[in-house]
Structure 1
Amino acid sequence: MKIAKLYKKLTLANFINWFAMRFYRVAQIVTGYMIIIAINLNPRREIFQKNLDSLKINRVFFFRKVTLPYLSFLEGCKNLKAQIIFHKEGEVIELTLPKVINKGFKVNEAYACEAKLPDIYLAVISDAQIFVGTDLIIADKTILYDQINKDFFNRYPVKSPLIANVSKDNISIKWPLKSTKIKQGIHLPKDHAKNYFHWMIENLPRLSLVSELDKNIPLLVDGDLPAQFYDALAMLNQDNREIIKLSNNTLYKVQKLYYPSQLSIFHDSYDNPFYGKDAVYSPKAISYVRDAILKKIASPSSSTRRRKLYISRKNSDYRQLINSEEIEDALVARGFEIIFPEHLSFFAQVQLFSEAELIVGQSGAGMASFIFAPKDCEILMMMSDASQSNLHIFGALADSIGLSLKYILGKHINIKKSYINHSDFYVDVSILIKYLEDSNR
């Protein structure tokens, strides 16, 4: 009787739409569980995981929420009495004032400061639990994680989709219902692994710490990265270790996990930057990647034309250069090539940057490959003048390997709520032209 009365309050069209949507959602969930069963029966069929991902189901149906205490990685290793193969105190380095070519712009003196690099260590953790897309691991019901600092845990945004929420003492994570076992492996999953900058500058240098390990120990990496990322990994995989690509929505139980520490620090910060903490790069780590990759690339001969490159961010959906066409016209007229790194193989990117005499571009991951440029190459970085912007992000990176980088700052507009340093911006083309003319470019 109640059902009949309810139906009378609905139009036939409304009821059909209501029923169809619920039927569709239930069908999606049932289909998802069926594919998960197929994955468990044959985990090597990558198409099964692709089919599951294509459903775009609300992942709450494949996770349960778990809350655990957390520690910094090194502190956690010591508390758990994990084996630490070696441990070196992090060095203190000097950060210098960034160079800005805008007339009258005064760089904050606080940029010139000391910064401590992370401690360097290689830890071995028994019965560890790891996930795709995050540095976070679990051992003995304790989370080990360096992306959150207990002293200012709410300063840096948490971007790992695995993390539900954070307090000063605990982290709640979305625990995958699906799990699989791995005997041993070297940990390389990473927060922001799909970002080229984080992959190249933070993650790949960790390989420099594992050269003395048994060559039969495989590398464990995120399994859904762009092809260029795996090409870069292959060039640095000098021991030809097996590479195991991890799947989404899966808990991996690793019997013996080797964890090479982070060598550089780059925290996302949407507040006024901590100049000595938010972007700190190890010169040895960056040089390791640079030197190892350039050895695989033919060195430009004396007759090779030195290139002038403009690195475009037109395909990005944020932090856009509003007058990019005006900038491009000015640069093309002066012999620049317009480059879209995301469309190039990793080898092609390195080759281009290694032949450059001048690189102009916007702040963004595509500029990370300037680490492969010749030491006499000049780099001009365009960035918004938002006060939350941190000029050490690229300035300190260039300094770490002895490259010359200068900034041209543009007026920020189209302000994003809470993310002013990701706002679009406008660069005065006359400043750019004057710089190129004064430097005879």
Structure 2
Amino acid sequence: MRKYIVSIARNLRNGLRVFVASKGAGIWPIDTAYYRRRYGGLLAGKSPSYHYTLNGRGIAFDPLPLFDSEFYAAQLRGCHIPVGMTLLDHYLAEGAAQGFDPSPLFSTSAYLMFNPDVAAAGVNPLEHFVKSGEREGRRWFDSEAPEMLAIARGVLNGDQGNRYARWIIATRLSYFIDEAYYRSRHGVTESPLAHYVNHGGDPEMSPHPMFDARHYRMETGLNELPTGVTWIEHFLTAEITKRQAPSLLFDQADYLAMNPDVAMSGVDPFEHFVRWGEREGRFPISLERADLEARILQVLTEVPNHPYALRLWIECLLARGEGSGAVAALNELEDKLPRPLLENLLGQALQQTGNIDAAVTSYSLSESLSGTDALHIDANVASVLAREGYRAEMRGELKIAEASYRMALTKGLKEAQLIRERLANLVFASGDRDMAMNLLAARAKDGSTRVIDMPLTSVTEHCAQGIGRYFELFPERPIEPIEPEFLRPPTALESESGTLTAPPFYLAVLDECTAASRCNVVLHQGTLVSDQATHPRSGKAVFGDRLNEHQVIRARHGGNVLIEWPTKESLHIPCGLMMFGVQSRNFGHWGCEYLPRLLAYDSLPELREFPIIVDSGMPKTHLESLSLLNEFGREVITLEPEQVVTFGQLAMAPVPTYFPLDGVGGYSYDAVWPRDVLRAMKEMVLKAVERRLGVPARRGRRLFISRHAFASRQMLNEAEVRSMLTDHGFETIYPEEMSFIEQVDTFRSASMVVGSCSSALSNTLYCPDRTPVIGLIHDEPSFNFRGYSSYSDAGGASILFVQSPVAPGQHAVHAFHRSYSVDTAVLRAALIWAERRGNSRAALTL
């Protein structure tokens, strides 16, 4: 490929006539062969230099392939050119110094930037390039700039013999030609680049495994392209956001969603994958796509040895944890995959089977065959071992994960702290306390934190030992089962159904304890007190307690826990009510986890003087809810981030049910909420609103909850849905713009609610009994449908879920936050259900 580009450069040099004398114009560059080719019929026996001297003030004649008279004149903006001076003379005398460019193909400033010695010498950049720069191989255009391809094509359309434009096009296209694939696929023996430049307008000629020209042509609906234009050039010059897919195996939206760094950079995603992403181990399409295997089979049917299809097939096996199957498959593909890739995939497969030593051998061979410097091979192998070890841990294969982490650290893993922490958690769980302590202690070298091994217990168990005061408002009790209702039968739900045993709803007061802002855990008498971390199902939970950007809970084993805790001096507060903690600033979490605590705090008269302790950064609605419900006028104290606090007395109350923040490795837990606590909270809130506002001023309102202000879980066709619902008597509300009391007042007057399943939908708790609610959501089976159902049910509302397919490009987004579009015809059917179920007064006309 390089030989082809070099041959273009050689032809340019041979064809260039550098300097010629011209009457009245002095010495200046002109390509006589170029001039004769373009204007030979107009010379009338005159030399090119003389002809240009006579006519060079106008825009009709270009003296060089790199001097476009019309382009240059457009930059002058009325500048006076003395009599006898051509446009080229003006550029040489004044234009370059003023930053003008002689051609869209040649940038004055860029050439000087690429060649600082030329800038220092004060030489005209075009003069330098024509005299010697080209011969010296100087960089004269930015081959990394995607726009150069379209610019060069534009020049070539007006000047089909422009060699420099052809040079630029060939250089840009060279990045997208896989020589080995091209030769194998098309039986080409000459330079693949030279062949493709001449034949790339044929849709049967695909330059790269990730660019299927036939597929792309079908996607665009075009039959043919202008003469000389290749299909990949057409693709590369199309507006990125409006491009058609280049192949079945590359999805632009997936790639950007999986690689936010690429999205932030603004780099062409296809170019990024072809030039860098594939080598970095990135995937061209999400492995979570339901139709991925069908796509792979279709590609392999057409191109049996397609390297990326084969790779993705193996990656699918590996993603499912089928290491043995992947090993068997790879043994049959020895001659069908590039050897470095084959060894890398084999290493992953062997690692999955627990054969770590053999995996290291394959990884090392892959690196060596890829040309990696011997000094860097071990570090690269360590990185892959750590990555695949983490995936094994997420699959629950803890022994493989532990062995992988150990080997990664032995191999000199760079930036190893995260893996040290993962390994510490595993070895502590298996009883190796000393190694876990050593692994964790390595991070906090500045003394700002310390690792502590202490007992772990729940609030109820802790107080049962006679430590602290403890009162139960509701004892442990069964939760009534609930089955989510769907308009259409869903696929089998994948989340784990929440426990049907409600924990005791208590009030506890601990003396002389320590806590921290935005954390749930409490330290008391050498024990870590946490309801969540002691729950039987907490093994796969993500704990949100973080200080100094690190998890507080590092590892657990039996009844003990390793924590990392700040050593800085703490703030002392004599007494307080715990209304701070993980996710306290989120509206949905605040409503279901924090506000119910006021029921407990208000039950004990002696706590009426205790201040309410909250996190900083609380939304205005949260503080408004406290103001509404703060019947005894308690002081509200705000904790700054990372603030450690010692309390003389701290009153605590629980979350009404076990409700983990998230799950590891795609694990999803669907909490079921008890009616009694939430029903009591509903009554508390509604009574407070009625004291403030009286009875609802309006009733029978049909509400549509907008989600237009949010970037995640978007309803992509909200405008269409809003219009349809408006025709049926719905008003659109924007909860994020309303106060807390306005939200409650609005929902207590509702007769029907439609909205996306989000935090705002938790307001349905305050709806009148039997209010029908239509929850719009995507079709991800791991979503917490039971949670939404039981929460609304606790307030007396019944919810019907209307699922819509996940929008394209969402497969790499967290399953809960994927966007979708609603079929309005399906929504109309749901409205019929709501009319039959609810107590609406006005009939719908459907």
Normalising by structure 1, report the TM-score.
0.77
SS of corresponding position for 1:123: strand
1:421 matched to which residue of 2? 816
SS of corresponding position for 2:583: coil
2:486 matched to which residue of 1? 100
Deviation at 1:434, TM superposition (A): 2.6
Distance 2:699 2:504 in 1: 42
Structure 1, 197-206 or 262-271: larger mean CA deviation: 262-271
8 Å contact from structure 1 (residues 356, 374) kept in 2:
yes
Deviation at 1:228, TM superposition (A): 0.9
In structure 1, runs of 5+ residues without a counterpart are 1-10, 12-59
1:130 matched to which residue of 2? 515
2:624 to 223, 227, 231: 231
Q: Which structure: greater strand fraction?
A: 1
2:56 matched to which residue of 1? none
1:172 matched to which residue of 2? 563
SS of corresponding position for 1:95: coil
2:826 to 422, 431, 439: 431
Distance 2:473 2:526 in 1: 24
Q: Structure 1 residue 403 and structure 2 residue 797: aligned?
A: yes
Deviation at 1:415, TM superposition (A): 3.1
1:159 matched to which residue of 2? 544
2:501 to 110, 116, 120: 116
8 Å contact from structure 1 (residues 287, 401) kept in 2:
yes
Structure 1, 108-117 or 170-179: larger mean CA deviation: 108-117
Q: Structure 1 residue 372 and structure 2 residue 766: aligned?
A: yes
1:185 to 550, 556, 576: 576
Equivalent residues in 2 for 1:31-430, closer than 5 Å: 63-69=448-454, 70-79=456-465, 81-86=467-472, 89-102=475-488, 104-105=489-490, 115-149=500-534, 151-162=536-547, 163-164=551-552, 166-169=554-557, 170-175=561-566, 177-210=568-601, 211-214=603-606, 215-270=608-663, 271=666, 273-274=668-669, 278-295=670-687, 296-297=689-690, 298=693, 300=695, 304-413=698-807, 414-415=809-810, 417=812, 419-430=814-825
- Greater relative contact order (CA < 8 Å, ≥ 6 in sequence): 1
Q: 1:179 to 1:110 in 2, by over 3 A?
A: closer
Q: Which amino acid aligns with 2:449?
A: R
Distance 1:72 1:171 in 2: 16
In structure 2, runs of 5+ residues without a counterpart are 1-115, 117-444, 836-842
Deviation at 1:217, TM superposition (A): 2.0
Superposed CA deviations along residues 358-407 of structure 1, whole A, max 9, x for unmatched, are 11111111111111111132111011211211211210111222212111
Deviation at 1:110, TM superposition (A): 10
Superposed CA deviations along residues 406-432 of structure 1, whole A, max 9, x for unmatched, are 111111233354722322223222100
8 Å contact from structure 1 (residues 384, 409) kept in 2:
yes
Distance 2:699 2:741 in 1: 18
Deviation at 1:132, TM superposition (A): 1.3
2:75 matched to which residue of 1? none
8 Å contact from structure 2 (residues 511, 650) kept in 1:
yes
8 Å contact from structure 2 (residues 611, 637) kept in 1:
yes
2:407 matched to which residue of 1? none
Distance 1:322 1:62 in 2: 49
Normalising by structure 2, report the TM-score.
0.42
Q: 1:203 to 1:161 in 2, by over 3 A?
A: same
Distance 1:307 1:294 in 2: 17
Superposed CA deviations along residues 91-119 of structure 1, whole A, max 9, x for unmatched, are 102122111112x4467699999701111
Q: 1:182 to 1:268 in 2, by over 3 A?
A: closer
Structure 1, 139-148 or 60-69: larger mean CA deviation: 60-69
Deviation at 1:272, TM superposition (A): 5.4
8 Å contact from structure 2 (residues 495, 668) kept in 1:
no
Q: 1:164 to 1:218 in 2, by over 3 A?
A: closer
Q: 1:199 to 1:139 in 2, by over 3 A?
A: same
Q: 1:196 to 1:68 in 2, by over 3 A?
A: farther
Superposed CA deviations along residues 63-112 of structure 1, whole A, max 9, x for unmatched, are 5254443333323334573332447531102122111112x446769999
8 Å contact from structure 1 (residues 272, 389) kept in 2:
no
Structure number with bigger Rg: 2
Distance 2:680 2:761 in 1: 18
1:46 matched to which residue of 2? none
SS of corresponding position for 2:684: helix
SS of corresponding position for 2:604: coil
Q: Which structure: greater helix fraction?
A: 2
8 Å contact from structure 2 (residues 469, 510) kept in 1:
yes
Q: 1:78 to 1:182 in 2, by over 3 A?
A: same
Distance 1:272 1:112 in 2: 12
Q: Which amino acid aligns with 1:179?
A: S
Distance 1:117 1:221 in 2: 26
Q: 1:61 to 1:228 in 2, by over 3 A?
A: farther
Distance 1:87 1:365 in 2: 27
Distance 1:230 1:65 in 2: 34
8 Å contact from structure 1 (residues 177, 250) kept in 2:
no
8 Å contact from structure 2 (residues 577, 612) kept in 1:
yes
